Structure 1
């Protein structure tokens, strides 16, 4: 039986950049990520690229915590019932940029959510690399 629910992404969407930057007080929020979304049959997989580019941080434990936050944000956003699609995505984290004071897992979680929104906006456009939006 064929489902009436479309899957996301409909085609590869590479180089999706999401910058979450808020300057409300001190400390502020800052996270900058670049991810690829590739179609798969069902569900969501998340992986870290072997050649992950990291700018602004050299603590592997802190990076891992922020990577997990990106994944959580992506999963949160992709599984929202209101999206109207069934997630079928392989997501690859390609780049992370940190600020020495303002970066934290909560900001990276928001960047993950924003990356999905940016990819959704690009889903109905012809495939291209380098999608960037700020939130």
Structure 2
């Protein structure tokens, strides 16, 4: 019997950018992240790049809280039962961008979730050469 779940990611997906920005009220929300998704063993391994680029924030405690929130968002999205995924991923956080007022852990958690969705879309996008042949 075949499983209804797909292993994710099917191949390396690098430079996945996610921006979560919402200006519906005050305070607003802003978080930007860039990550790599690599095939790995079953489950999710989350790593922070040694050369992590951080823009717009100098507070190590705030950065740590937001990194933890990104990881939580990635794990939430990859392990959500309705996703139909069997995660086997190493996720590497490469870049974080903060807004001085509107960035907070909740926004970074949402950016983590959005990064997974963007990676999933990129994994199932036809290769550029195939697009050009069709056009």
TM-score under structure 1 normalisation? 0.89
When structure 1 is superposed on structure 2, of 3-12 and 38-47 the one drifting more is 3-12
Higher relative contact order (CA 8 A, sep 6+): 1
SS of equivalent to 2:91? strand
User: Structure 1, residues 18-61: CA drift from partner, whole Å, max 9, x if none?
Assistant: 00000011110000000000001211000100000000001111
Name the TM-score, length of structure 2 as normaliser: 0.89
Gaps of 5+ in 1: 129-135
Contact kept, 8 Å, 1:22 with 1:28, in 2: the verdict is yes
Give how far 1:94 is off. 0.1
Q: What aligned pairs does 1:94-113 form with structure 2 within 5 A after superposition?
A: 94-113=94-113
Structure 2 partner of 1:117: 117
In terms of fraction of residues, the more helix-rich structure is 2
| Ranges in structure 2 where 5+ consecutive residues have no aligned partner | 129-135
Task: Give the total of aligned pairs.
Answer: 127
CA RMSD of aligned residues (A): 1.5
- SS across alignment from 1:73: helix
- Indicate the residue corresponding to 1:131 in structure 2: none
Please give the alpha-carbon distance, in whole angstroms, between the structure 1 residues aligned to 2:83 and 2:32. Answer: 24
SS at structure 2 position matched to 1:118: helix
Rounded to whole Å, the distance in 2 between the matches of 1:60 and 1:45 is 22
